Amino acid sequence: MHTAFAADAASLPRLCFLGYRHLREFSAPVLDEYRDRADIELLDATVDGAVALARERIQRGGVEAFVSGGANGGMLRQQLRAPVATVQLDGIDVLQALIAARQHSTRVGVIVYGQTLPELDAIKGLLKIELQQHAYRTPAEAQRGVDVLHAGGFQVVVGTSLAVEMAEAAGLTGVMAYSLDSIRRGFDEAIELVRAARQQAGRPLHRRQPAPACARHHFEDLEGQSPDFLRAVDTARRFARTDLTILVTGESGTGKELFAQAIHNASPRSAKPFVAINCAAFPESLLESELFGYEEGAFTGARRGGKRGLFEAAHGGTVFLDEIGDMPLSLQTRLLRVLQEREVQRIGSASPTPVDLRVIAATHQPLAEMVAQGRFRQDLFFRINTLRLGLPSLRARAADVIPMAERRVRQCLARLQVRAAPGELLAAIHPLLQGHGWPGNVRELENICERLAVFMAQFSKPSAIDWSGLPHECPELFEVAPATAGPAMVADRAERARRTLEQHFGNHQAAALALGVSRSTLWRWLRSTA
């Protein structure tokens, strides 16, 4: 089969999505999304014929990059000189597929390309399924995996498109292990490969609709009703009406970038770019070129024609400098000049470039102490500290924890295709959620909620949930006995701790490991009703 999704601009990247019918049909929603971003040709091909088809397309000059998955992707990368983006599996993809497969059988086979996934062995107990994995490099190896599973009485196979096709041919139920997000990542990679190739050849990739850096979040998106949080929102709204530099402070995970985006979107600069950079994520040499740009020939490997930096890219809009406390002292001096003079000098340039922008900086570090220690420039601190916005930690927003948790669990359950009311499900553990210290703030809450949803998804109905297994999945919630925990929960924990200790013949280390907690926590549980 041959299908083309043609966009109306000749400059769009020309991609070929090559693979088995199952993968193509599964990817249909993503193909519609990318109509305006790429000219995509669809080809059905087996592993044996994939390379020949790809080479024929290359000779015709109609393809700049290929997208494929599994054995096809591996084969194309090995035998073609053309760029090849592969659709990769990740743990969440396979987990969602296993949950779907469990609806058909509690004995599930997994067949993936390359190598098996060790992390699945830890999940099978959580999902209460019997799991057998096989990996393949060739179609013959994939077929052997299907034959072994069939002979062993397995009725469901989770795997790549090749594995699913072979499983269905053998009369088994096949479940695709990919997700639509993994397909999107494959197309995004292919587009970037084309862009890099064109830039190297001196042919920039023009988009039909340029997509400048933008801010997606608004004040209406910010969650919370606690007094401290609402006070921060009101302050941020006032700051948005000005054009002054803002310093946002707060612990990691409190939402500093979300507030920065909301401020930008509520400001007169909302139609202009919002450019964010994490100052702690780049080495000094790379951070300098990213921020300030460089001229052609400024250093070995410099791009032909030079490159504009992020300050220039944000002209007219907002620059968000996250973790500014980690910026090297040498670059702090150059940043101070940008703030004072509103001009940028590229590396290797003799003349500055004027820029019109607003700067929002953020940090979780005590900048005043760093100034006293000589680790942060005092003049820069005073310059960025014009307006100060402090964000409260999640533990200071106890009333917000439950609504935020319910929303995140609901979203995750929906992705896992589980219909349930999270409010009812979480009621039993409200004291745990409200009593936890949340050192990772909202970011930690999101991670815990993902795990809670996966834990709940294994049970057929809310009344069947066995909460005794929760310490294994979310040990953080049990590390410190919550002051708000009721007597029944405290007594239950203590009884469970004593029972587990007896089962391990008084070995505290083994009992703590079985409960998924530390030895000190086990000791506190045992003492809680003494």
pLDDT band for position 488 (cuts 50, 70, 90):
low
Query: DSSP per residue over 103-129, as a string?
Result: TT-SEEEEEEESS--THHHHHHHHHT-
- DSSP-derived letter for residue 302 is P
pLDDT at position 266 over 90: yes
- DSSP-derived letter for residue 347 is B
pLDDT score for 509: 66
pLDDT score for 510: 66
In this predicted model, what pLDDT tens digit does every residue of 116-136 receive, in sequence order?
Answer: 777 677 667 777 788 898 988
pLDDT at position 313 over 60: yes
| C-alpha closest to that of 383 among 434, 330, 334 | 334
User: What average pLDDT does this structure show over 232-259?
Assistant: 94
Q: Report the C-alpha dihedral over residues 489, 491, 494, 500, rounded to 10 degrees.
A: -80
Cβ(437)–Cβ(106) below 8 Å: no
| C-alpha closest to that of 525 among 505, 503, 500 | 500
- DSSP-derived letter for residue 392 is P
pLDDT score for 161: 82
Who contacts 3 (Cβ-Cβ below 8 Å, separation ≥6)?
41, 42
The overall pTM is greater than 0.85: no
Q: Which residues does residue 274 pair with via DSSP β-bridges, in sequence order?
A: 318
CA distance 293 to 329: 18
CA distance 441 to 347: 39
Our separate counts of H helices and E strands in the chain read 24, 18
pLDDT band for position 305 (cuts 50, 70, 90):
low
pLDDT band for position 507 (cuts 50, 70, 90):
confident
pLDDT at position 487 over 60: no
- What is the residue-averaged pLDDT of the chain? 81
pLDDT score for 250: 93
Q: Which of 33-47, 209-223, 371-385 has the lowest mean pLDDT?
A: 209-223
- DSSP-derived letter for residue 463 is G
Q: Per-residue b/e over 108-124, b at no fewer than 16 CB within 10 Å?
A: bbbbbbeeebeebeebb
Who contacts 419 (Cβ-Cβ below 8 Å, separation ≥6)?
413
pLDDT score for 153: 92
Would the CA dihedral through 402, 404, 407, 412 be positive or negative?
negative
Which range has highest mean pLDDT (204-213, 214-223, 281-290, 521-530)? 214-223
CA distance 100 to 418: 9
Please name the amino acid found at residue 203: R
